Amino acid sequence: MTRTVYVNGEYLPETEAKVSIFDRGFLMADAVYEVTSVIGGKLIDFAGHKARLERSLSELEMVSPVTMDELLAIHRELIAKNDLDEGGIYLQITRGAGTDRDFVWPDPEEVSGGIVLFTFAKPLLNSKVMDEGIKVISVEDLRWARRDIKTTQLLYPSMAKMKAKKAGCSDAWLVKDGFVTEGYANNAYIVKDGTIITRQLSTDILHGITRAAILRFAKEAQIKIEERPFTIAEAQAADEAFVTSATGFSQPVIEIDGATVADGKPGPIAKRLREIYVEEMLKTAI
């Protein structure tokens, strides 16, 4: 079935979707993005993704070509047009297309930003990963220094993912100065003696929307949280480990660089947090 996508003000069949060759998102990764989960035809934590999108745009002095209310309407229309029950919506906003390739930003009053959205179907609630867990490898973190901005500069994370795949693993944890920053497309955590340990917010990591919700629910469940860096060796010796992301929720990690975490089975805290997350997020889905 051909999906209906949204490109610069138009709903189009995906086979007819086009962007300018001068679009700065295409030429320079001068773009930001968000991925919002959909369950039961409803958006999960749209307010959180909207807030982070606005922050990313502000940090890059970029202007959205649509209002946030219009953006919500576009999301809902795509869900309806594609009869999407479970999966997600990818959104990308670029600085737009000037008359030629140039390192100087075009004036936003003269050049409107570009915008693209498309849906994808994916099972989220019934996940085999939660039963088996994932294996990760560590990779040196060589990304640019503003990882807190959700840009489309994803070449290095893609390289890290390919290294993991070649090693027979699902994920790569990025390491800077001996400490884990985050996964290639998620936030990373370990659990030791009942305490969740995860790196504190800074420009070193993405300020995960799912991360914020998971930590909030953990506090409400009276689970101790320690926000600080941790090493790969510390993670290998942990009682459990997991990652969080918009479409993965809370996924247990059972092996790190070939070393089995605890008994090699998904831990109870990661599982419980996923259950709480899904239950609470469905209450506020729109």
Residue 130, pLDDT above cutoff 80: no
**Closest listed residue to residue 169, CA positions, set 204, 143, 139, 199:** 139
Q: Which of the following is catalytic: 81, 122, 128, 150?
A: 150
- Same domain flag for 193 and 278: yes
Cβ–Cβ contacts within 10 Å for residue 253, how many?
Answer: 27
Number of folded domains that form the chain = 2
In this prediction, residues 18-24 reach a mean pLDDT of 96
Q: Note if 150 is an active site residue.
A: yes
Work out the angle at residue 229's Cα, subtended by the Cα atoms of residues 226 and 232, and round it to the nearest 5 degrees.
115
Among residues 156, 212, 214, 165, which one has the least CA distance to residue 185?
Answer: 156
CA distance 182 to 202: 12
Q: Quick one: 160 and 270 in the same domain?
A: yes
Report residue 165 as tokens: 């795949």
Three-state SS for 257?
coil
How confident is the model over 58-68, as a mean pLDDT? Answer: 96
Claim to verify: residue 11 and residue 86 sit in the same structural domain: yes
Burial status of residue 50 (CB atoms within 10 A of its CB: 0-12, 13-18, 19 or more): buried
Judgement on whether residues 104 and 133 belong to the same structural domain of the protein: no
Average pLDDT over residues 75-88: 98
Confidence (pTM):
0.93
pLDDT at 131: 78
Query: Residue 121 in contact with residue 157, Cβ under 8 Å?
Result: no
Specify the DSSP class assigned to residue 41. Answer: T
Which of 104, 121, 138 terminates a domain? The answer is: 121
Which of 121, 150, 177 represents a domain boundary (last residue)? Answer: 121
pLDDT bin (cut points 50, 70, 90) of residue 58 is: very high
In eight-state DSSP terms, residue 66 is S
pLDDT value of residue 232? 98
Give residue 110's pLDDT: 93
Q: Quick: pLDDT tens for 160-215.
A: 999 999 999 999 999 999 999 999 999 999 999 999 999 999 999 999 999 999 99
Q: With 80 as the cut, is the pLDDT of residue 78 above it? A: yes
Q: Report, as an integer, the average pLDDT of 134-140.
A: 98
The distance between the two most distant Cα atoms of the chain, rounded to a whole number of Å, is 59
The domain that contains 32 carries what CATH number? Answer: 3.30.470.10
Nearest to 185 by CA among 166, 197, 171, 167: 171
Residue 216: CA atoms inside 13 Å, Cβ hemisphere, count?
9
- Residues, the chain, total? 286
First vs last C-alpha separation in the chain: 25
How far apart are the C-alpha atoms of 25 and 277, rounded to whole Å? 33
Are both 89 and 133 inside the same structural domain?
no
> What is the chain's mean pLDDT, rounded?
96
Query: Residues of the chain with pLDDT > 90: what percent?
Result: 96
The rounded distance, in Å, linking the Cα atoms of 231 and 196 is: 14
Same domain, yes or no: 134 and 200 = yes
**Residue 153 lies in domain:** 128-283
Query: Do both 195 and 72 map to the same domain?
Result: no
DSSP H helical ranges for 6-154: 24-28, 46-59, 68-81, 128-132
Residue 20's pLDDT band (cuts 50, 70, 90): very high
Q: Please identify, among 74, 98, 121, the residue that sits at the C-terminal boundary of a domain.
A: 121
